[in-house]
């Protein structure tokens, strides 16, 4: 019954915002288009379709809001106006009661709140679709009082998302079967992708582990601060981390007033992104302005502060190498090499003509070089690339979806901070250096260092392995000789049969010629 009522409510919201008309008109069945015209009688929808979709998702609740945020990253699948509108979805969800947060904390650690924190702010400082954050003061193992941020998962999230996800799968199936764009939009794959992201975010220990990994990776870079996790107080529903103090990156006027070098901050953001992607293959994939601050403390002045690690992206070595070669070829305007890389990787059919793909990529990218960021829209560039991809049947790579999303976030941050930033010129030296490191002696030394433990274990065994090899080699010749003799006999028999057959054929021809001549005379 609960699922039925939820389904009825979803249908009512769809009717309220006219989503039924938008969906039905995209279906290929003529009778569904007729239904769309009938249901739209008497209803006026003055707002654009993207705005109505966004408002409907907000009305349906946190899970659908999160779905809209994830969907907004799939600019390869959505019309640009809808993707832009969904990108406006923010985590402005009403907070749940502080008494519920306290009960969750006490249940997670089996302690009273007063036994954990010296003080705890009942009013949350931030509330999102998945969790909310409270500030507190914690006494650590050394007895020091530490200012912390306590992230608490919303209650009842898992049952709620399972119900909504089951309905989303059902609707995705309808769109897949009935819509003209069903195959291209891949609604089932999109919902499955959302399912994975959402379940990852529901495990706060996983988020804490991702933060710890990023913190280790960024040590010594002096570009970003990542909060320390207090592992004694990290559980699936609650994590306690170091409280970070900074100015939100969206407040550019405050940053300038504090003396922050804004152009340098923009360049640092590009370097930080490419370092996480290409050096580490492990990157913060939710870098919207709400998750980024800037430190103004004297010791760390001007550094980024990263928050909220529920979504991180990973790349394999082959992904990193492929992407780095693509970016480097782009920066050098070597569009032929870009086309060749697409074919070599199997992203486009092997029969694709290199010159045609090269020409298509050039027409997309060439107009944007040597321009400041204020004159470039990476969103538009990506959209045109996706259109080219469809023309040449380029397969969408799921592992790169988060990277595309993060790249758009980086564009937004860079545009906000320094519209004159030359994104290409900033990234090119880093990528070229990275490519040299991948092919030079540093890479070789690193590989030898990684393999050293295995070599150290193998060296003492070499004498025994050599002895076994020689022993096998002594016994092997007789066996090999026998096999060789058998094969030679078989070959000789075959050759004899061919020779005899050939001689017989020639003799037959001679006899036939003699018979013919006798008849003639």
Question: Which residues are marked as active site?
Answer: 286
CA distance 153 to 101: 8
CA distance 59 to 9: 10
Four-point Cα dihedral 199, 204, 210, 211, nearest 10: 140
Chain centre distance of CA 469: 47
Residue 225: strand pairing partners? 305
Residue 127: strand pairing partners? 132
CA distance 173 to 161: 18
CA distance 392 to 379: 20
CA distance 311 to 285: 6
CA distance 132 to 123: 10
CA distance 92 to 116: 29
**Residue in 124, 448, 418, 130 with CA at minimum distance from that of residue 266:** 418
Residue 137: strand pairing partners? 119, 147
Sign of torsion over alpha carbons 420, 424, 425, 431: positive
Q: What are the φ/ψ torsions at residue 417 (nearest 5 degrees)?
A: -80, -50
**How are the residues of the chain apportioned to helix, strand and coil, as percentages rounded to the nearest 5?**
65, 10, 25
* Strand order from edge to edge, sheet including 224-225: 224-225, 304-306, 292-294, 247-248
CA distance 517 to 347: 70
Helix axes 262-274, 401-417, angle to 10 degrees: 170
508: how many CB neighbours lie within 10 A of its CB? 10
Q: What are the φ/ψ torsions at residue 134 (nearest 5 degrees)?
A: -120, 145
Helix (H, G, I), strand (E, B) or coil at 344: helix
Four-point Cα dihedral 192, 195, 196, 200, nearest 10: 180
Residue 126: strand pairing partners? 133
Helix axes 378-391, 354-365, angle to 10 degrees: 160
């Amino acid at each position: 019954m609960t699922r039925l009522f939820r389904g009825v409510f979803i249908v009512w919201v769809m009717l309220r915002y006219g989503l039924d008309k938008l969906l039905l008109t995209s279906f290929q069945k003529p009778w569904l288009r007729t239904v769309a015209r009938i249901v739209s009688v008497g209803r006026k929808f003055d707002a654009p379709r993207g705005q109505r979709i966004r408002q409907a998702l907000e009305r349906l609740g946190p899970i659908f809001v999160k779905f809209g945020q994830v969907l907004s990253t799939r600019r390869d699948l959505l019309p640009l106006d809808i993707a832009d509108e969904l990108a406006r979805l923010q985590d402005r969800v009403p907070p749940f009661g502080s008494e519920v947060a306290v009960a969750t904390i006490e249940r997670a650690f089996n302690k009273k709140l007063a036994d954990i924190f010296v003080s705890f702010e009942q009013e949350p400082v931030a509330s999102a679709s998945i969790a909310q954050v409270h500030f507190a003061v914690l006494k650590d193992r050394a007895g020091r009082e530490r200012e912390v941020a306590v992230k608490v998962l919303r209650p009842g999230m898992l049952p709620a998302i399972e119900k909504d996800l089951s309905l989303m799968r059902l609707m995705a199936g309808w769109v897949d079967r009935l819509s003209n764009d069903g195959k291209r939009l891949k609604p089932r794959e999109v919902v499955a992708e959302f399912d994975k992201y959402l379940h990852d975010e529901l495990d706060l220990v996983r988020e804490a582990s991702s933060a710890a990994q990023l913190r280790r990776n960024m040590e010594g870079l002096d570009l970003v601060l990542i909060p320390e996790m207090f592992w004694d107080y990290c559980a699936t529903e609650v994590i306690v981390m170091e409280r970070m103090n900074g100015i939100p990156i969206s407040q550019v006027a405050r940053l300038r007033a504090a003396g922050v070098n804004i152009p340098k901050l923009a360049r640092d953001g590009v370097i930080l992104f490419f370092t996480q992607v290409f050096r580490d293959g492990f990157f913060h994939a939710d870098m919207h302005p709400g998750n980024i601050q800037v430190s103004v403390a004297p010791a760390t002045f001007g550094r980024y502060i990263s928050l909220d690690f529920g979504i991180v992206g990973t790349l394999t070595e082959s992904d990193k190498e492929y992407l780095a070669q693509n970016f480097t070829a782009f920066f050098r305007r070597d569009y032929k090499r870009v086309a060749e890389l697409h074919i070599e990787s199997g992203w486009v059919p092997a029969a694709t003509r290199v010159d045609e793909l090269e020409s298509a990529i050039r027409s997309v990218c060439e107009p944007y070089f040597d321009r400041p960021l204020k004159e470039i829209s990476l969103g538009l560039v990506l959209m045109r690339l996706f259109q080219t991809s469809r023309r040449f049947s380029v397969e969408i790579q799921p592992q790169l979806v988060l990277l595309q999303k993060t790249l758009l976030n980086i564009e937004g941050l860079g545009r906000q901070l320094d519209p004159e930033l030359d994104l290409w010129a900033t990234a090119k030296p880093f990528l070229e250096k990275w490519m040299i490191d991948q092919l030079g002696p540093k890479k070789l030394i690193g590989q030898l260092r990684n393999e050293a433990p295995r070599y150290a274990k193998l060296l003492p065994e070499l004498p025994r392995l050599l002895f076994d090899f020689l022993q096998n080699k002594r016994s092997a010749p007789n066996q090999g000789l026998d096999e060789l003799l058998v094969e030679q006999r078989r070959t000789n028999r075959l050759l004899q049969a061919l020779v005899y057959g050939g001689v017989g054929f020639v003799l037959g021809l001679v006899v036939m010629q003699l018979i013919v001549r006798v008849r003639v005379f």
